[in-house]
Amino acid sequence: MLEVSRCRAAYGGLTVFDEISFRLDYGRTAAVVGPSGCGKSTLLALLAGIKSPRAGQVVLDGADVIRGDRRVGLILQHYGLFPWMTVSQNVALGLRLRGMPPAQRRTIVYRELQRLEIEEYAGRYPGELSGGQQQRVAIARTFAVGPQLLLMDEPFSALDALTRERIQDALVRRLAGGRVVTIFVTHSIEEAVFLGTSVMVFEPGAPARIRILENEHRLEPSFRMSALYGERCRSVRSILEASHAP
């Protein structure tokens, strides 16, 4: 379980947000949405242990999250793949750094590539792949090390609409039944509602506020075509529009 208790984030004398608290069980995905500069990426930095809160705690399974915490996996927008390594070598990197034997590494790497339907690209280099394929490699590399907390900072924003939906579907399948808490930052209302079992809406201010909307639904592609999906997108949009009202 991830527990965020009364966290405050600040840069110098400017408080970004204060008294932020929430809890997420394993198997849950929280999508964070809001305008640019409201504190979404700052929240992710706190959860990753990259930035320390001015007050409050970020606790995973009873232990504070710290810088370099191996329980945390972070996926960024620009993938971070090493161009001189093959797909398999990129996915195996974290396992190799942790001293895992080669045979065990190969088993895990193949499993993750297969789950994300990119096993046929195992011997290729990142430069030979499309943006969507590179993103799947980045996801596979993160899942290979078995994170308990998965953080994603606008990882699909550079992809075209249809590719983005295919990667979303692949991520949903990969998350199904996993023992991982996922936090996903996005500018897209539609993406937030599709991927999040909770949607955290940042309302700008000094400091910013967060409204948490429960978004229980079965994580499956058909949800995107349902009336409930459209209704919940409108609910999130109305909150964001109200927070921007003059």
Q: How confident is the model at residue 218 (pLDDT cuts 50, 70, 90)?
A: low
Mean pLDDT of 27-49: 87
pLDDT at 179: 85
Three-state secondary structure of 106-135: HHHHHHHHHHCCCHHHCCCCHHHCCHHHHH
Do 30 and 59 belong together in one domain? yes
Do 132 and 168 belong together in one domain? no
The pLDDT of residue 246 is above 70 = no
Query: What residue type is assigned to position 201 of the chain?
Result: V
Do 137 and 153 belong together in one domain? no
The pLDDT of residue 245 is above 80 = no
Do 106 and 171 belong together in one domain? no
Do 161 and 216 belong together in one domain? yes
The pLDDT of residue 141 is above 60 = yes
Phi, psi (deg, nearest 5) at residue 75: -115, 120
Please state which of the ranges 55-59, 73-77, 126-130, 179-183 shows the lowest mean pLDDT: 73-77
Asked whether residue 120 is assigned to any structural domain, the reply reads yes
With the C-alpha atoms ordered 198, 118, 90, 104, is the resulting torsion angle positive or negative?
positive
* Tally of domains within the chain: 2
Do 57 and 164 belong together in one domain? yes
Asked whether residue 76 is assigned to any structural domain, the reply reads no
Task: Give the residue from 116, 146, 176 where a domain finishes.
Answer: 146
The CATH number assigned to the domain holding 222 equals 3.40.50.300
Q: In terms of DSSP bridges, do strands 209-214 and 198-203 run parallel, antiparallel, or are they unpaired?
A: antiparallel
Question: Is there a contact between 199 and 216 (Cβ–Cβ < 8 Å)?
Answer: no
Question: Is there a contact between 3 and 65 (Cβ–Cβ < 8 Å)?
Answer: no
Asked whether residue 77 is assigned to any structural domain, the reply reads no
Do 142 and 152 belong together in one domain? no
Do 49 and 133 belong together in one domain? no
What domain range is 7 assigned to?
2-71+147-243
Cα of first residue to Cα of last residue in the chain, in angstroms, is 39
The SS3 of residue 205 is coil
Mean pLDDT of 49-64: 90
Distances (CA, A) of 108 to 73, 99, 126, 142, 197: 16, 14, 19, 12, 28
Do 223 and 156 belong together in one domain? yes
pLDDT at 233: 92
Do 65 and 158 belong together in one domain? yes
Do 16 and 123 belong together in one domain? no
Mean pLDDT of 76-105: 90
Do 139 and 175 belong together in one domain? no
What token pair was written down for 73? 């996996």
